[in-house]
Amino acid sequence: MKIIISPAKKMNRDTDSFDCHGLPPLLDRTEQLYRRLRELSYVELKALWGCNDQIAALNYERLQNMDLRRSLTPALLSYEGIQYQYMAPGVLADSELDYLEQNLRILSGFYGILRPFDGVTPYRLEMQARLSVAGCSNLYAFWRDTIAQYLFSEAGADEIVNLASKEYSRCVSPYVPEHTRFLTCVFGELQGDKVIEKGTKCKMARGEMVRYMAEKQVKTIKALQGFDRLGYAFAPDRSDETTYVFLSAPAKA
């Protein structure tokens, strides 16, 4: 079993808490992106990133001083988004971290795919960014099936638990082999007869699901049905072989 999740925009450095176990597996492709980004001006990069001056200045400075091979942070600790806060990797037991190292994979516009303890440096490059590189008009064209090929070449990749956003899961979902089960988890609430997902709550639930899987040492997709955290419960009548739906009660006004 492999679990795929999205990265987060906000990143930090932490070279002390845990050692990195290696470098990202697609680093040669990352180096191509790095060289292309270095060719762009501050104005071009700010437009590419779609951010304010403060964030643009920080990431422009990072890019000028970036080293892809030294002073690195394990990927799992580098991302600071809501999903990672609810995953809380810093307080997981060794057995739980071992579980994530074996099963969790982080998708990235810059690195392609990351194992939890691959060493990374802070960057800003979302998968949807319209960066032309190596004759490709965007990052989806640049990565093509490279990310999926790496993922499906790993042992245990005959079942994929998709906890990534659509922006990132589309780097994998079109390339799923015929006999591989690709299951997407949906976290929502009922509005009328429709299941509505809300951004922040989804990110919280995705992180909590990863934590649940690590704590329970989940080995089968069916075991996910026991997830009952943050007020969610498995909805069998709205689920099928490709989608597990978890519903929570709407927040009271």
Question: Is there a domain that residue 253 lies in?
Answer: no
Tell me how many domains the chain contains: 1
At 206-217, the pLDDT tens digits run 999 999 999 999
Q: What is the mean pLDDT of residues 64-87?
A: 96
209 is in which domain, residue-wise?
2-247
Q: What is the pLDDT of residue 252?
A: 57
Question: Is there a domain that residue 252 lies in?
Answer: no
Among the listed residues 105, 119, 121, 99, the one whose alpha carbon sits nearest the alpha carbon of residue 19? 119
Q: What is the pLDDT of residue 36?
A: 98
Q: What is the pLDDT of residue 184?
A: 98
Among the listed residues 224, 110, 74, 118, the one whose alpha carbon sits nearest the alpha carbon of residue 163? 224
pLDDT band at 16 (very low <50, low <70, confident <90, very high): confident
List the structure tokens of 58.
Answer: 């920080």
Please tell me the total number of residues recorded for the chain in this structure.
Answer: 253
Question: Is there a domain that residue 11 lies in?
Answer: yes
Question: Is there a domain that residue 190 lies in?
Answer: yes
Question: Is there a domain that residue 46 lies in?
Answer: yes
Q: What is the pLDDT of residue 251?
A: 61
**Which pTM was predicted?**
0.96
Whether the Cβ atoms of residue 2 and residue 154 lie closer than 8 Å to each other: yes
Q: What is the pLDDT of residue 14?
A: 86
Residues sharing a CB contact under 8 Å with residue 69, sequence separation 6 or more, in sequence order? 23, 119
